């Protein structure tokens, strides 16, 4: 019987009685809508998989079920676009083809391969996780959800992705693409980065999951968000969910998903002293729990100085430095802070106590020491490096 006739019969037969018994009316209405929702859930999975067969991307990490390789791809893609992440994925696996190679490498080597990707805590956590796999899992990277959650840097989403893609385990992935697709189809305006929002979307994603082929379904919904239901200018006119998408029906596409208001950013002022002594320069490692921990940098003073104040600094006077060039401002935007950096290239006549505690390296060794993207940009411009 057509759906509209069922609705008509429902109200014709039972409305008089239900007006007197509201609690029964509520129960039957919830049951009725739940049945409709179930039918919708089934169609969502089917439509997604049909769309995926025609539009799926060819990606190297989809050609393997190796949990280690899938883990590498998932960590790289957490804050990186696929196009950029592709080269880093290949470079990383070339440098560290197995979890044992990664565990036995130095942190400096790992950060050097990671250089330019940003969010360096990801690389540090990968190094720690690899060492844990060596110690606790005998060098065999785990592929079960609960075991994966014990490793540093792996949360519910990453664990679900690895377990699903390497072992076809029935866990739904919830990344930015999934948030966007589900919030628009169901018209959900709960902030996706709030605790209630994360719980709501995790439950909804798990409810939608096609448990007979979870890996395929997870890949389908992620590709759908990346290619069809994009953040800006989604292809709504050719969308298979156009008729049932709440956002499209109500003009909410550009408003969903919703995020909580951003925290205000603070501005930090960095003055780097690119000190040279002949063909040697000086670097120090950032060891504090701050941005770029583990990376290397020239001598740094963090303060809102003026160019005139540079000449009176103790560092300049103690090293009898000749200031060769002062760079313009390099602005570097991070999650909750903005770095305004300037670089002062100097030639020193003598080392002071600060430089004696730093690593003195030749110009041919610069590439051996991982630095932030900010310093890399300065070097490319100041030394006309072809990178």
What are the tens digits of pLDDT across the range 165-223? 999 999 999 999 999 999 999 999 999 999 999 999 999 999 999 999 999 999 999 99
CA dist list (Å): 8 to 23, 29, 98, 221, 275? 20, 13, 63, 35, 83
Q: Are 200 and 80 found together in one domain? A: yes
Instruction: State whether 311 and 173 are in the same domain.
Output: no
Q: In the prediction, which pLDDT does 310 show?
A: 96
Return the CATH number at 302. 3.90.79.10
* Co-location of 251 and 296 in the same domain: no
Through-space distance between the first and last CA atoms of the chain, rounded to whole angstroms: 67
Q: What's the number of domains the chain is made of? A: 2
Q: Judge if 222 and 327 occupy the same domain.
A: no
* Residues whose CB falls within 8 Å of the CB of residue 294, separated by 6 or more in sequence, listed in order: 107, 108, 111, 120, 124, 285, 286, 287, 370
How high is the pLDDT of residue 43? 73
Handedness of CA 172, 175, 177, 181 (dihedral sign): positive
Which of 172, 200, 173 is closest to 187 using CA atoms? Answer: 200
- Asked if residue 162 and residue 208 are part of one domain, the reply reads yes
CA neighbor of 143 nearest in space, from 83, 67, 74? 67
User: Are both 114 and 244 inside the same structural domain?
Assistant: yes
**Residue 205 region, left (φ>0) first, then alpha (ψ -120 to 50), else beta?**
alpha
Residue 21 lies in a domain: no
Clarify whether residues 179 and 116 are in a common domain. yes
Q: Same structural domain for residues 243 and 276?
A: no
Q: Which of 74, 243, 309, 347 is catalytic?
A: 74
Task: Answer with the one of 255, 280, 309 that is the final residue of a domain.
Answer: 255
Tell whether 237 and 288 lie within a shared domain. no
Same domain, 247 and 275: no
Work out whether strand 280-285 and strand 296-297 pair parallel, antiparallel, or are unpaired.
antiparallel
Range of the domain at 292: 266-382
- Residue pLDDT, tens place only, 188-199: 999 999 999 999
Question: Running DSSP on this structure, what letter comes out for residue 306?
Answer: -
What's residue 82's pLDDT? 93
The residue among 255, 284, 308 that closes a domain is 255
318 is catalytic: no
Count of beta carbons in the 10 Å neighbourhood of residue 75? 25
In contact, 217 and 49? CB cutoff 8 Å:
yes
One domain for residues 141 and 221: yes
Residue where one domain finishes, among candidates 255, 286, 309: 255
């Amino acid at each position: 019987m057509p759906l509209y006739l069922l609705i008509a019969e429902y109200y014709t037969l039972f409305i008089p009685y239900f007006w007197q018994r509201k609690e029964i009316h509520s129960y039957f209405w919830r049951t009725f809508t739940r049945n409709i929702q179930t039918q919708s859930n089934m169609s969502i999975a089917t439509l997604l998989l049909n769309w995926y067969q025609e539009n799926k991307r060819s990606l190297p990490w989809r050609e393997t079920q190796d949990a280690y390789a899938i883990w590498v791809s998932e960590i790289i893609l957490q804050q990186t676009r696929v196009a950029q992440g592709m080269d880093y994925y290949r470079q990383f696996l070339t440098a560290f083809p197995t979890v044992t190679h990664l565990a036995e490498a130095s942190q400096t080597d790992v950060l050097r391969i990671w250089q330019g990707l940003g969010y360096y805590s990801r690389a540090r956590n990968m190094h720690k996780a690899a060492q844990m796999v060596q110690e606790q899992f005998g060098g065999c990277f785990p592929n079960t959800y609960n075991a994966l959650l014990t490793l540093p840097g792996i949360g519910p989403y990453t664990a679900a992705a690895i377990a699903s893609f390497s072992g076809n385990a029935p866990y739904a992935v919830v990344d930015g693409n999934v948030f966007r697709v589900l919030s628009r189809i169901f018209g959900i305006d709960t902030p996706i980065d709030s605790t209630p929002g994360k719980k709501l979307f995790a439950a909804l994603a798990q409810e939608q999951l096609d448990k007979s082929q979870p890996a395929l379904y997870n890949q389908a919904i992620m590709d759908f968000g990346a290619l069809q239901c994009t953040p800006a200018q989604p292809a709504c006119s050719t969308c298979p969910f156009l008729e049932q998408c709440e956002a499209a029906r109500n003009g909410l596409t550009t408003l969903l998903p919703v995020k909580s208001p951003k925290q205000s950013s603070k501005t930090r002022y960095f003055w780097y002293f690119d000190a040279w002594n002949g063909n040697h320069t000086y670097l120090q490692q950032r060891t504090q729990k701050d941005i770029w921990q583990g990376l290397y940098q020239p001598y740094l003073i963090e303060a809102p100085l003026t160019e005139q104040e540079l000449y009176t600094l103790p560092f300049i006077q103690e090293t009898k430095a000749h200031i060769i060039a002062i760079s313009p401002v390099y602005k570097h935007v991070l999650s909750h802070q903005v770095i305004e950096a300037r670089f002062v290239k100097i030639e020193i006549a003598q080392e002071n106590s600060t430089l004696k505690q730093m690593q003195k390296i030749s110009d041919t060794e610069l590439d051996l020491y991982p630095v932030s993207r900010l310093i890399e940009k300065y070097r490319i411009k100041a030394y006309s490096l072809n990178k």
